[in-house]
Chain A
Amino acid sequence: MENYSGQQVLRIFPTDEDQVNLVRALEDLEHLQIDFWTSPTKVLLPIDIRVSFRNLQSVKVYLESNNIQYSIMIHDVQSLLDEEQNEMRRNRATENARS
C-alpha cells in the first residue's frame, strides 16, 4: 500500500483571483505531486490539497510568501488511514468469530 506518513492536507483560503491563480499554478508543477482534493476555481471557496512530506515545507513557504492563508486540515493522512484499516480489521475479526 502507498504510505502517506507525514503527508498533510492543507486547506487554502484564497482571497482574490490572483491567489486562486497562484494556487492553480501548483497543479502544473508535477514534481510537487500535489493531490487536489478540491479544485482551485473561485475566490472564497476553500481549496484542499494533499502534500507529500518531502514537499510540505516548500509548498507552505510558497503559500506564505504569496500571503495566501491556509490551515492544516489533516496533520497526518496515514494516521487516519491506519485507523480506518484497524476499524475494518476489528469488524472482520468480529464477523469471523461470529460465523
Chain B
Amino acid sequence: TDSFNYATYHTFDEINAFIDNLVNENPNLVSKIQIGSSYEGRPLNVLKFSTGPNRPAFWIDTGIHSREWVTQASGIWFAKKIATDYGKDASLTNTLNNIDILLEIVTNPDGYVYTHKSDRMWRKTRSPNSGSLCVGTDPNRNWDAGFGGPGSSSNPCTETYRGRAAHSEPEVKAIVDFVKSHGNIKGFVSIHSYSQMLLFPYGYTTARTPDHNELNTVSRNAVNALASLYGTSYTYGSIIATIYQASGGTIDWTYNQGIKYSYSFELRDTGRYGFALPANQIIPTAEETWLALTKLIEHTRDNLY
C-alpha cells in the first residue's frame, strides 16, 4: 500500500485489493470483517483496527451514496493513515490502545460499481422496486428513524426514495445487524459530500437531542481543527437546522440506538465541482477531514459512557 496512488479515484476491485494488502501488511493491527453482501452479491467489507479484545469501537463509513467519490477515496486515505501512524502518533496510539476503529470504505458497492461502468451520477442502491421500472433506494433514507417522514420520498423514481420498508436494503441491514450485535460502538460517523458541513442528529425532527450542546461543542472544535490546515470553512449543527429535514437517516438511527457521538460529514466542495471533485483535491480533503475526525474520535475515547 506504500505505492498505492491515493491521489486518484479507484474501482471497487482496486479498493478491495488495497484492503487485502493493508491487512496483509499489518496483521497485528488490521483485519477485514465481511458484515454482509450487497443486493448484487458484493462483499460489504469493514476494516477493523484493533490492538486488543473486547474494546469499545468508533465506526466510520464512506460511500453510502455512490456518486460521492471523494468519500471512498478519503476512506482509503484514512485507512492508510491509521495503519501508518499507529505507534508513531501519540494520540492515535493512545486511541487504538483503548478503542477499535471500524471503517467501511465502500458502503454501497453496487452503486459504486454502477458509477464506474454505467452512470457516474448514480446515488442509490441497485435493488429493483416492485411495480416500478426505476431501480434503487436511497440508503440514507432507509433507516428506522422517522422512516417515511418528510424529506424522503415514496416514489421509487426519485433520488430520495426511502425503500419499501426500513432496513429493506441489505447494505443498510448489514450495518444495523453489526451495530446491534457489536453492542459497544460509542461513536459513529457517516461521510458524504458535498457542502462542507459537520452534522449531528436529528434530521427527522426539530426536537433537540439531550446531547445537543455537547455535540455542538465537539463539532465546533472539529471544524476548527479542519480549517487549521487549508482554511476550508465548514458549517455545523443539527441536520434539520443546518441543511434540511431528512427522515430515515443513518445517524438518527445510530443516535437512537444509544450511540451518543453520531455525526455526519459533507465533504468538499461548496459547489464548484459538486460530485465531480477533481482528483487533485482528494488528499487535501482527506488530510483536513482527518483532523476533524481525530477530534471526534479523541472526544469519544476520553468520554466513554
- A81:B120 contact, CB within 8 angstroms: yes
- A38:B195 contact, CB within 8 angstroms: yes
User: Known contacts A1-B120, A2-B120: does B273 contact A80 (CB below 8 Å)?
Assistant: yes
- B271:A11 contact, CB within 8 angstroms: yes
> Among residues 144 to 183 in chain B, which have CB atoms less than 8 Å away from a CB atom of chain A?
151, 157-160
Complex CA gap A91/B11 in Å reads 13
User: Known contacts A30-B157, A42-B244, A80-B273: does B5 contact A95 (CB below 8 Å)?
Assistant: yes
- B121:A50 contact, CB within 8 angstroms: yes
Interface residue? B9 (CB, 8 A): yes
Interface string of A83-99 (1 = CB under 8 A from B): 11001100100010010
Interface residues on B, range: 20 to 34
- A2:B272 contact, CB within 8 angstroms: no
Residue B278 contacts which of A11, A36, A83 (CB distance < 8 angstroms)? A83
Complex CA gap A32/B249 in Å reads 27
Interface residues on A, range: 20 to 34
Give chain A residues whose Cβ lies under 8 Å from the Cβ of B273: 74, 80
- A87:B121 contact, CB within 8 angstroms: no
Complex CA gap A38/B160 in Å reads 11
- A77:B276 contact, CB within 8 angstroms: yes
Whole-angstrom distance between the Cβ of B58 and the nearest chain A Cβ? 29
> Among residues 102 to 150 in chain B, which have CB atoms less than 8 Å away from a CB atom of chain A?
117-121
Interface Cβ pair total, 8 Å cutoff: 64
- B8:A73 contact, CB within 8 angstroms: no
- B117:A4 contact, CB within 8 angstroms: no
User: Known contacts A1-B117, A2-B121: does B245 contact A9 (CB below 8 Å)?
Assistant: no
> Among residues 44 to 81 in chain A, which have CB atoms less than 8 Å away from a CB atom of chain B?
45-46, 48, 50, 73-74, 77, 80-81
Chain B, residue nearest A27 (CB): B158
- A73:B274 contact, CB within 8 angstroms: yes
Complex CA gap A80/B9 in Å reads 14
Complex CA gap A91/B10 in Å reads 10
Chain A, residue nearest B241 (CB): A42
Interface string of A7-22 (1 = CB under 8 A from B): 0010100000000000
- A73:B271 contact, CB within 8 angstroms: yes
- A84:B278 contact, CB within 8 angstroms: yes
Give chain B residues whose Cβ lies under 8 Å from the Cβ of A27: 158
Q: Which residues of B contact A (CB under 8 A)?
A: 3, 5, 7-9, 117-121, 151, 157-160, 195, 243-245, 271-276, 278-279
| Interface pairs (8), CB distance under 8 Å | A1-B117, A1-B120, A35-B121, A39-B151, A46-B271, A81-B276, A87-B279, A88-B279
